[in-house]
Amino acid sequence: MHLLVNTGGGDAAGLNAVIHAATVAALKKGWKITGIRDGYEGLLQKGRVGLIPLTWEKVRGIAHLGGTILGTKNFGHPFAHPVTRNGKTHTIDVSKQILHRFKELKADALIVIGGDGSLRIAHRFHEMGMPLVAIPKTIDNDLCGTIQTFGFDTAVSVATDAIGRLHTTAESHSRVMVVEVMGRNAGWIALYSGLAGGADVILIPEIDYDLKNILKKIKEREKSGINFSIVVAAEGAKTKGGNLLYQKTGAGKKKRLGGLGEKIAWQIEEQSGKEARTVVLGHLQRAGSPTHMDRILSLRFGTYAVELIAQKKFGNMVAYMPPQMRAYPISKAIKGVNTVPLDSDILTTARELGISFGDI
């Protein structure tokens, strides 16, 4: 058997651990395994330049490292691949070219390590006849069918540490600190890190907030003699009927969420007269070494993906359904978004502890 493996979308801590485990599992079966550089890009390049043969030596000692030894792309879609000709960029479908290259390399299966976008692409390739299995990656933890994605625990741990540290400076200066964390469609990172880090207000995409409720919480704390507050805001949170906030990007560049923390801090200063500052954690949440939870989850994902291939269970994603790893159809995984359920006991716990979600 010859396996190909790629990493797609934004990176997440644990990618290298997945590559390590999948490679070891494949080599132990006597199979060959090759990494594709930068998502599918490597399959569009001539010769061997876009390919990384995965050997014992290549994957030794990488499981604890952040990033991906294969490289990844957060844009570039095989079905809408951007090309620039005469200064103008347009998109073309290169999926047939990729499928042709897959066959040319005499590959038997592909392991796709990615989030929602990568799973959608994988589903289309599977429908075109490419045998593949997927592994759920995203720090946002917003994929359906699996209890957890890898990368999430590391992101929460970085954010929790940052929120915890901000207490002392917030209190010293009697300020409000607004911490913006990632979370496009789902507020898992904000909820977990806000709860673990001792936030007073947590804003998540699942619950529309109203500024007046944030101000009310800050005032309540002032009245009880606490001179500082910590607000944790997921980048995708918004007010009722409000719009998502995007950063300024270069011409033609994909829209990027961001700016909510700064907006809220400014509004708090304007309306309460209290000093406020913003901290945007951004890509720190994706960077660096994975936590032990993410390492173990990633190693299990990588090993199980090879097992699914051995059983020819193509078109499936490896899903973590504690205590087991299971096969879950990619076609089902791409149907929804794993958002924070409004009846979740974690939300109830947070509310019981006096944390405001900006809705009441």
**What angle (nearest 5°) sits at the alpha carbon of residue 346, between those of residues 341 and 351?**
105
Strand segments (E) across the chain:
2-7, 32-36, 51-53, 81-85, 88-92, 109-114, 132-136, 176-181, 201-203, 229-234, 276-280, 316-321, 324-329
CB distance 63 to 21 below 8 Å: yes
What phi and psi values does residue 49 have, to the nearest 5 degrees? -60, -30
Note whether 140 binds ligand F6P by CB under 6 A.
yes
SS3 content of the chain, % helix, strand, coil (to 5): 40, 20, 40
**What angle (nearest 5°) sits at the alpha carbon of residue 267, between those of residues 221 and 168?**
45
Note whether 10 binds ligand F6P by CB under 6 A.
yes
Note whether 184 binds ligand F6P by CB under 6 A.
yes
Minimum CB distance to ligand F6P, residue 283 (Å): 7
Choice from 109, 182, 347, 355 touching ligand F6P (CB under 6 A): 182
Scanning residues 314 to 353, which ones bind ligand F6P (CB under 6 A)? Answer: none
**What angle (nearest 5°) sits at the alpha carbon of residue 128, between those of residues 122 and 131?**
60
Note whether 284 binds ligand F6P by CB under 6 A.
no
Note whether 257 binds ligand F6P by CB under 6 A.
yes
Distance CA 237, CA 231 (A): 12
Q: Is 140 a catalytic residue?
A: yes
Note whether 153 binds ligand F6P by CB under 6 A.
no
Provide the total of helices (H) and of strands (E) in the chain, helices listed first.
Answer: 11, 13
Minimum CB distance to ligand F6P, residue 99 (Å): 26
CB of 10 or CB of 50, closer to ligand F6P: 10
CB of 105 or CB of 337, closer to ligand F6P: 337
Binding range to ligand F6P, per CB under 6 A, among 78-86, 132-140, 263-271, 344-352: 132-140
> How many residues are recorded in the chain?
360
**What does the block give as tokens for 108?**
């038997």
Note whether 89 binds ligand F6P by CB under 6 A.
no
Scanning residues 211 to 240, which ones bind ligand F6P (CB under 6 A)? Answer: 235
Choice from 118, 138, 157, 356 touching ligand F6P (CB under 6 A): 138
Note whether 139 binds ligand F6P by CB under 6 A.
yes
Q: Which of 38, 116, 140, 142 is an active site residue?
A: 140
**Size of site (CB under 6 A) for ligand F6P:** 12
Distance CA 274, CA 191 (A): 25
Binding range to ligand F6P, per CB under 6 A, among 41-49, 137-145, 317-325, 326-334: 137-145
Residues at the site binding ligand F6P, with contacts judged by CB under 6 A: 10, 74, 115, 138-140, 182-184, 235, 256-257
Active site residues: 140
